């Protein structure tokens, strides 16, 4: 089981499922066994057909009720009074599921020895969890960012079980733009002398390199207007008051430093590399005759959500998904907050997701579609 980092507080209802069956990975390696940490809300129906699978973002956890609280709860898009909601920590992460921070059979951490993963590997592990939970039918698979990449693979790998998908702030393949940002973060970690080729001791991680990687990532998650309106050129004291770490410095520098410093205490560097490497492999068309052919084969109704100010997974990528998936609807979520708008302004998606779920429930696969319909939510 993963050695959880000290600043990550594990909710009391996190559960662990262990597979003794090996997982054959897409790039040829084999995980002899693995553990998936997950949380579940609501109850599975007698027909085992009311499941909702939630897929988290890059550094997320299984705490969907925390990071997506605005669409979670009775009467909202994710409603435990009707749904059996499951959110698992992705394979390769460090919040309970098997990854580089987990203990190997030899008693030491996997570390840099951990095999290379793809998004498809992560989804196959999630599918095995769903099997173990007795889930026969999944009403909805939903996720944003890395989670959105997984959602697409769910639709392609498990089409008979998945009833509908919601892909938020994600793309059909990792663009050269996204790969570039992954590369800069990877370089910052690997350049830290403490990294030692990934063979660092748990008590002496590459804090500087990982902190810089997080700072780079935070810049890609927000927008020009988001930072201008929140911080401008104000000082730390003007924005944060007594909480400012550097009161005389720019407030936005305080913000960047805060995220870098807090992140290194709650995440593992090798796990971070494993996840961004997996994201860079993302290409729904690999081995399926190309991207267009793969997307055209998706049978489930699809809700595609674009964040209007997203500069990482740009809205044109969601428009492409909507054009290529046979039964797709595109919504534009008005947000100043860039890519992170899928979390910060999640409440603006709630109505659209509820409407989509009602449509998907009433319109089984193969029925007339709402292809290329677009709506805006502010």
Say which CATH number the domain at 183 has: 1.10.1740.110
Catalytic residue among 65, 339, 345, 350: 339
**Helix/strand/coil for 373:** strand
| Confidence (pLDDT) at 11 | 74
Asked, for residue 159, whether it belongs to a domain, the answer is: yes
Residues 224 and 207 in one domain: yes
- Hey, what are 340's tokens? 């992170």
Task: Report residues of the chain scoring pLDDT below 50.
Answer: 366-368, 371
Catalytic residue among 79, 121, 268, 310: 310
CATH number of the domain that residue 84 is part of: 3.40.50.1820
Tell me whether residue 4 is in a domain.
no
- Looking at residue 368, what is its pLDDT? 43
Are residue 268 and residue 324 in the same domain, yes or no?
Answer: no
Do 108 and 86 fall into the same domain? yes
Domain of 323?
A: 15-176+279-377
- Residues 183, 166 share a domain: no
pLDDT at 3: 56
Residues with Cβ within 8 Å of 187's Cβ and at least 6 positions away in sequence, in order, are none
Catalytic residue among 61, 62, 102, 145: 145
CA distance 236 to 185: 26
Same domain, 40 and 124: yes
Domain edge (last residue) among 221, 248, 273: 273
How many Cβ atoms sit within 10 Å of the Cβ of residue 228? Answer: 12
Say whether 282 is catalytic: no
Q: Is 175 a catalytic residue?
A: no
The reply to whether 145 belongs to the active site is yes
pLDDT of residue 375: 64
Instruction: Note whether 31 and 148 are same-domain residues.
Output: yes
**Domain boundary, last residue among 245, 273, 301:** 273
Domain check: are 224 and 195 in the same one? yes
The pLDDT of residue 366: 45
Q: Please, which residues have CB within 8 angstroms of residue 69's CB and are 6 or more apart in sequence?
A: none
Query: Of 256, 273, 290, which closes a domain?
Result: 273
310 belongs to a structural domain: yes
Cα separation, 348 vs 336, whole angstroms: 12
pLDDT of residue 219: 97
Look at residue 374 in the predicted model and tell me its pLDDT. 61
Upper half-sphere CA count for residue 133 (Cβ side, 13 Å):
33
**Number of compact structural domains in the chain:** 2
Sheet with 51-55: strands ordered across: 15-19, 34-41, 84-88, 51-55, 138-144, 165-168, 302-307, 328-333, 373-377
């Amino acid at each position: 089981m993963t050695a959880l980092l000290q600043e990550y507080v594990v909710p009391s209802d996190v559960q662990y499922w262990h597979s003794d069956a090996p997982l054959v990975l897409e790039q040829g390696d084999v995980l002899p066994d693995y553990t998936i940490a997950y949380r579940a809300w609501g109850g599975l129906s007698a027909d085992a057909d009311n499941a909702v699978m939630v897929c988290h973002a890059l550094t997320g956890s299984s705490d969907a009720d925390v990071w997506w609280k605005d669409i979670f709860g009775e009467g909202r898009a994710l409603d435990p009074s009707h749904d059996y909601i499951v959110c698992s920590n992705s394979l390769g992460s460090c919040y309970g599921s098997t990854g580089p921070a987990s203990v190997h059979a030899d008693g030491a951490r996997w570390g840099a020895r951990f095999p290379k993963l793809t998004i498809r590997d992560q989804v196959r592990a999630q599918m095995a969890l769903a099997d173990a939970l007795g889930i026969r039918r999944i009403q909805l698979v939903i996720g944003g960012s890395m989670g959105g990449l997984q959602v697409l693979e769910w639709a392609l790998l498990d089409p008979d079980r998945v009833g509908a998908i919601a892909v938020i702030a994600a793309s059909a393949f990792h663009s050269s733009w996204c790969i570039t940002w992954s590369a800069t973060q990877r370089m910052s970690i690997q350049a830290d002398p403490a990294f030692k080729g990934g063979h660092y001791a748990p008590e002496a991680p590459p804090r500087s390199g990982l902190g810089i990687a997080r700072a780079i990532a935070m810049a890609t998650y927000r927008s020009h207007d988001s930072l201008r309106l929140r911080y401008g050129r104000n000082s730390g004291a003007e924005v944060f008051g007594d909480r400012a770490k550097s009161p005389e410095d720019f407030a936005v520098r305080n913000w960047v430093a805060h995220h870098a410093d807090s992140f290194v205490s709650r995440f593992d560097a090798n796990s971070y590399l494993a996840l961004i490497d997996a994201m860079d492999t993302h290409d729904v068309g690999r081995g399926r005759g190309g991207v267009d052919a793969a997307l055209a084969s998706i049978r489930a109704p699809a809700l595609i959500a674009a964040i209007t100010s997203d500069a990482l997974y740009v809205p044109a990528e969601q428009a492409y998904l909507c054009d290529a998936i046979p039964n797709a609807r595109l919504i534009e979520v008005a947000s100043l907050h860039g890519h992170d708008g899928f979390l910060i302004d999640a409440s603006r998606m709630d109505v659209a997701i509820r409407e989509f779920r009602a449509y998907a429930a009433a319109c089984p696969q193969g029925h007339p579609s709402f292809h290329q319909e677009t709506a805006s939510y502010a």
